[in-house]
Amino acid sequence: MTIGVTLSSTSYPRTVDDTVRLAREAHDAGLRSGWFGQSFSYDSPLLAAIVGREVPGLQVGTSAIPVFGRHPLLVSSQAQTAQAATGGRYHLGLALGTKRLTEDGFGIPYERPIARLREFLTALRQLVETGAADFHGELLTATTPLPAAVPGATPPVPLLVAAMGPQALRVTGELADGALPFHAGPRALAEHIVPALTAAAEAAGRPAPRVVALIPGVVTADADAVREKAAEALAPYEGIPSYQRIIELSGAERAADLAVIGDEEAVAAEVRRYREAGATEVVFTDTDLGGEADRQRTWKLLGELAAGA
C-alpha cells in the first residue's frame, strides 16, 4: 500500500509556490504521492506537472477532472504532457462531476453521465496507449488527423475514476486502471466498491484494479474540535446523491462521521482498516483542518506508515 496526501483542493486554494513547498515537505516526510483537485481555477494536470518536475520521486495525480465540459483529445494532451514532465509519475483521475456544476458552470445538460464516461474512457485509452484514436460514439467523436502522442510521455498514463455507484464501477473496472472513491468507509469499500470493481475488471480481462481511497483525516489531540470543523467543511457532500448513498453504505449518517480523526494510534488503526477492506492506496485529504501543527503531525505519521507499508 502507498500513502499520499492532497496538496490542493477546491476548498483550500494555494499559490503554485506554496504547493511546491508543501510537496517537498510531503516527500521529505516519506509520503509517496501528492494529489490535486480540479476546480475552475488552477488546471490540475499542469499543476501536477510543475510539482512533479520540481519534486523528483513524488508521484502526482489529479483527483479528479469531470468528463462534462472536456474532450478526450484535450485531456489526453494535458495528461501526456504531465506524464512527460514528471518522467512517468503522473496519474489521471476522472469524475462524473455534478449536475449543478455542469449545468450552471458550462451551460450544458447533465445527461447520460454513465454513457459519457464510457465513451470518454474508450477514446482516452486509445489516445494514451497508442497516441491515436478513431472513435465515433453517440455522445463523443475523437479522431486524430494529426499525431496525438507526446514524446517522452511513457509509460501510458494510468486512468482512474472517482466511481462509487454500481454503473460507474462497472465502466471503471472494464476500461480504467482503478477507482478513486471519496467518503467511502471500509464497510462500503469491502462490501460494495471493491467487489463490483474487481468483478468488472475480471470480466473484461483486465488486471486487478487499483483502489485509491481518499480519506479526510487529521492526527490531533483535540478530536472534538477538529471533528466539528470537519462537519462544516464536509457538509456540502451530503447534498450530492452519490455521496449520500456511499455515506449510508459506509454505515454513517454524515460525511464527517467517516473522517479519520484522533491520535496516532487511532489514525493508524483506521488506515489498517482501509487496507484490509481492499484499498491499495490511501490518500489523506483535509489534513489542515486542525491547523498547521496537526497537519505536520499527520504527515509525520503517514510518512512512517508509508515506510512500513
In the chain, the domains with their CATH numbers are: 2-216+264-308 (3.20.20.30)
The pLDDT assigned to 194 comes to: 98
% of the chain at pLDDT higher than 90: 87
Mean pLDDT of 5-32: 88
Span 34-58, pLDDT tens digits: 999 998 889 999 999 999 999 999 9
The pLDDT value given to residue 228: 95
CA distances from 115 to 89, 120, 122, 167 (A): 29, 8, 11, 10
- Segment 71-124, tens digit of pLDDT: 999 999 999 999 999 999 999 999 998 888 888 998 999 999 999 999 999 999
pLDDT score at 309: 66
Find the range with the poorest average confidence among 13-17, 19-23, 143-147: 13-17
* pLDDT confidence bin for 9, thresholds 50/70/90: low
**10 pLDDT tier (thresholds 50, 70, 90):** low
165 or 103: which leads in pLDDT: 165
Over range 245-273, report the average pLDDT.
96
pLDDT at 223: 96
What pTM was computed for the model? 0.94
Q: pLDDT at position 54, please? A: 98
